[in-house]
């Protein structure tokens, strides 16, 4: 992997992308906190009266757990992007080491793959989770 800053991203653009990552990290942490609180003490479910209500409560919990996992995965990607910024690898595809276009980074500042490799990953994992750092 490259160990120098991506030449196609200026310092001002890097600062903008860092701010986008900051905001997304704060939003994700808040969402994770709220979901964990909801799972710990479900609101409005004082007692389950029958199997239908029990099924509804289980479905709601399952949905919340799925959402929590998605948010945690995205937070992991944001933190990985921050690590790549510190190391100088940010903005380069982890597969081919080519620069990731600025527009893609502005839309998804945590992006770790160029569009070509992201599309290939999505085709290989049609039901898979978002790309995660290892």
What pLDDT, in 10s, does the model give residues 96-106?
Answer: 999 999 999 99
d(CA 101, CA 91): 8
Instruction: Give me 29's structure tokens.
Output: 């942490």
pLDDT in tens, 39-72: 887 555 555 566 655 555 555 677 889 999 999 9
Question: In the block, which residue shows the tokens 């942490």?
Answer: 29
Instruction: Report the distance separating Cα 53 and Cα 85, nearest Å.
Output: 48
Residue 92: beta bridge partners?
99
Of all residues in the chain, the percent with pLDDT exceeding 90 is 58
Could you give the maximum distance between any two Cα atoms of the chain, in Å?
A: 63
**Does pLDDT of 2 surpass 80?**
no
Query: In the chain, which residue ranges form alpha helices assigned H by DSSP?
Result: 11-40, 51-87, 102-107, 115-124
**Closest to 78 measured CA to CA, from 131, 33, 36:** 131
Q: Are 95 and 5 in contact (CB under 8 A)?
A: no
| Alpha-carbon dihedral 16, 81, 108, 63, rounded to 10 degrees | -130
Name 99's bridge partners.
92
């Amino acid at each position: 992997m490259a160990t120098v800053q991506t030449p196609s991203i200026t310092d001002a653009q890097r600062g903008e992308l860092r701010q986008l990552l900051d905001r997304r990290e704060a939003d994700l942490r808040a969402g994770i906190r709220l979901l964990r609180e909801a799972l710990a003490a479900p609101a409005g479910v004082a007692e389950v009266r029958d199997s239908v209500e029990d099924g509804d409560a289980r479905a709601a919990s399952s949905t919340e757990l799925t959402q929590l996992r998605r948010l945690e995965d995205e937070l992991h990607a944001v933190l990985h992007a921050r690590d790549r910024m510190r190391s100088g690898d940010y903005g380069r595809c982890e597969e081919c080491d080519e620069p990731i276009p600025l527009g893609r980074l502005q839309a998804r500042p945590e992006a770790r793959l160029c569009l070509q490799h992201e599309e290939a990953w999505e085709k290989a994992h049609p039901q898979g989770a978002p790309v995660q750092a290892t």
